[in-house]
Amino acid sequence: MDEVNNGIQKMENGLPTSTVTLDKKVSFLDVIKHRRDRSAVVAIVSALTLGIMGGAVLPVAWAFSITGIICGVLIMVVVASANAYTCDLLLKQAYATATYDYESLCFMIGGRWWKLVTEISIVILLLGSLVGGTAQVGEVGTIGLTSINSHLPDWLAGSSGRFLMTLGTLVIVVPLCMGKQLRQLEYAGMVGIAIVLWLTLTVVIKSSRENLPAIRNKEFALVGFTNLGDITQAVTIFGFAFYAQPIMMPFLLEVPEGLVGVKIVSYGMRIVVLINAFVIYFLTGFFGAALYGKATEGNILENEWLGGGVAQGMLNLSMAVYLCLAVPAMEFPTRHTINGWLPEGFLKHHPYVRQLLITAAILTFSLGVALLFPSSSANVLVVTGATGVCMASYLIPIVNHFLLYFNSSKIQKEAVEELKRITEFEEVNKGKNDELTFTTSIDYTRARLSTYVMPRRPGIWPMVKNSLKYVVIPTVVLAVGLFCSVAALTTL
């Protein structure tokens, strides 16, 4: 938020300049030089990487084999940049409105109904991801067990992996969901990242040793797109691989207040979206497709990487563990949202019991649906992703932006009304007490709100620049989200 450093400017809605002093500019170097802030960034990067990637890494190679090299990279760049952009929009909005989670931000901008729309979008998206992730545990674990021994009993290695889903939930997911903060997943995230790096390095090394055969025989083309149905599926995979918004926002409650906390979350998010996820997706996708070409499976673990047998089975079982580790990163923000729906007095003096009940309800639902419909998890992910990702990652951040930019948000209208009341009071009491002063929260509110956009200056070039930054770019990003969602729904 570089605008903070340009002073508090007069707002378009008539609010006069405030004298409140806000935080100074905070750079990445300012953050990492303090141990507390540096540790916070590391914890956020670790936990957020789990939440973003999850099982999205498994079909990326297949998506690359469909789109081709150039188109695959371009789609990744566009989608990753769009998600990083809307994440930063949300963080700037949170700072401008002095809010610390997604739900309260939308309440301050759009009111009670806009908050409810946001909450429903988050719950739909994350519950769908939890169901899909749980089902993937069974699928991946079953592949691993059959690689080790193809004669295992059906209850263990068959039945769509129901036993493994239940075991993974009880042994790994439930204990990790006992924590109170997302940052407590830091070490689980490190283990998960190590497992994904094992998969990535395995793919890169095997493909490189065989001299990228699918590129040499032109099965893996520079530009793909030969079948419309496959194209939409590939775009869908890339389109949903980088969403971070509903998982990122609760971190604001776990970092220092003010601009420093916002920047800690922002830098952590950029590292995850633009570096960690992007690099792992690219390496796994490119080298996987470069080895198998048209034979690349929708789940990369179904291809052979370590010669089959025990080694392959251990890799697959490790990935099943990784998928279990990713579930709590989605359960935490789901719990946070649902907690706001419960009566305030419900177990008011026993907050941890309240947390455990919500967690139990979420995990029971996700595991139950996965056990009942294990083969339908892909469709669940598509539907919830097409609606939830579009809303939570694109539509809501952009609508929030336009409401603030055009001074139409709830908090801005309330600030104007408050200022009118103050002015009227001062007029009525004028001359009665020359030393009368009025100190209210309005100065702080005006100061925060004025950081969101720069004032509109006269002249053609400033107007064009302003329109590009605050109108055109957000509109293009929204179009990207809508396109990915429509593409996903066409795959059903």
pLDDT in tens, 414-440: 888 877 777 777 677 665 554 444 445
Residue 433: the pLDDT is: 53
What is the pLDDT averaged over residues 302-315?
84
Residue 6: the pLDDT is: 36
Residue 8: the pLDDT is: 31
Angle among Cα 392, 396, 399 to the nearest 5 degrees reads: 165
Residue 229: the pLDDT is: 66
Residue 366: what residue type?
A: S
pLDDT band at 441 (very low <50, low <70, confident <90, very high): low
Residues 15-54 have pLDDT tens digits of 444 444 455 678 888 888 888 889 999 999 999 998 888 7
Residue 456: the pLDDT is: 67
Q: Which of 85-89, 244-248, 396-400, 412-416 has the lowest mean pLDDT?
A: 412-416
Which among 332, 334, 397, 473 has a CA at the least distance from the CA of 87?
Answer: 397
Residue 159: the pLDDT is: 73
Query: Residue 73 CB: number of other CB atoms within 10 A?
Result: 16
Residue 228 scores a pLDDT above 70? no
For 396-425, give one letter per residue: b (16+ CB within 10 A) or e: bbbbbbebbbebebbbbeebbebbeeeeee
Could you tell me the two tokens for 488? 């996903």
Domains along the chain? 2-13+23-489 (1.20.1740)
Q: What pTM was computed for the model?
A: 0.88
Residue 194 vs residues 92, 202, 301, 424: alpha-carbon distances, Å: 32, 12, 17, 63
Beta-carbon contacts of 473 under 8 Å, excluding residues fewer than 6 positions away, are: 85
Residues 268-308 have pLDDT tens digits of 999 999 999 999 999 999 999 999 988 888 888 888 888 77
Residues composing the chain: 492
Could you tell me the two tokens for 23? 């935080």
Which among 88, 135, 435, 411 has a CA at the least distance from the CA of 274?
Answer: 88
Contact 257, 179 (CB under 8 A): no
Q: Which of 143-157, 163-177, 180-194, 346-360 has the lowest mean pLDDT?
A: 143-157
DSSP state at residue 408 = -
Q: Distance between CA atoms of 66 and 233, rounded to whole angstroms?
A: 9
Q: Is residue 230 within a helix (H) or strand (E), and if so which, with residue range?
A: helix 228-239
Q: Distance between CA atoms of 193 and 181, rounded to whole angstroms?
A: 19
Residue 249: the pLDDT is: 94
* Nearest-10 Cα torsion for 180, 364, 168, 289: -100
Residue 116: the pLDDT is: 95
Q: Distance between CA atoms of 395 and 478, rounded to whole angstroms?
A: 6
Residue 51: the pLDDT is: 87
pLDDT band at 386 (very low <50, low <70, confident <90, very high): confident
Which among 140, 185, 196, 235 has a CA at the least distance from the CA of 488?
Answer: 235
Residue 443: the pLDDT is: 67
Q: Helices (H) and strands (E) in the chain — how many of each?
A: 23, 0
Q: Is residue 138 within a helix (H) or strand (E), and if so which, with residue range?
A: helix 112-148
Residue 175 scores a pLDDT above 80? yes
Mean pLDDT of the chain: 84
Give the residue with greater pLDDT, 292 vs 449: 292
- Hey, what long-range contacts does 412-419 have (CB within 8 A, 24 or more apart)? 412/11, 412/13, 412/449, 415/13, 415/15, 415/442, 415/445, 415/446, 415/449, 416/13, 416/14, 416/15, 418/442, 418/445, 419/14, 419/15, 419/16, 419/446
Q: How many CA within 13 A on the CB side of residue 281?
A: 32
Could you tell me the two tokens for 128? 């769908």
CA 226 to chain centre: 31
pLDDT band at 150 (very low <50, low <70, confident <90, very high): confident
Give the residue with greater pLDDT, 335 vs 302: 335
Contact 29, 168 (CB under 8 A): no
What is the pLDDT averaged over residues 380-387?
70
Annotate 291-357 with DSSP letters as a single string.
HHGGG--SSGGGS-SS-SHHHHHHHHHHHHHHHHHHHHHHHHHHHHHHHTTS-TTTTTT-HHHHHHH
pLDDT band at 251 (very low <50, low <70, confident <90, very high): very high
pLDDT band at 380 (very low <50, low <70, confident <90, very high): low
Q: Distance between CA atoms of 371 and 375, rounded to whole angstroms?
A: 9
pLDDT band at 3 (very low <50, low <70, confident <90, very high): very low
Residue 243 vs residues 48, 92, 411, 436, 480: alpha-carbon distances, Å: 10, 18, 27, 51, 13
What is the pLDDT averaged over residues 373-380?
68
pLDDT band at 4 (very low <50, low <70, confident <90, very high): very low
Residue 143 scores a pLDDT above 60? yes
What is the pLDDT averaged over residues 169-193?
93
What is the pLDDT averaged over residues 356-382?
84
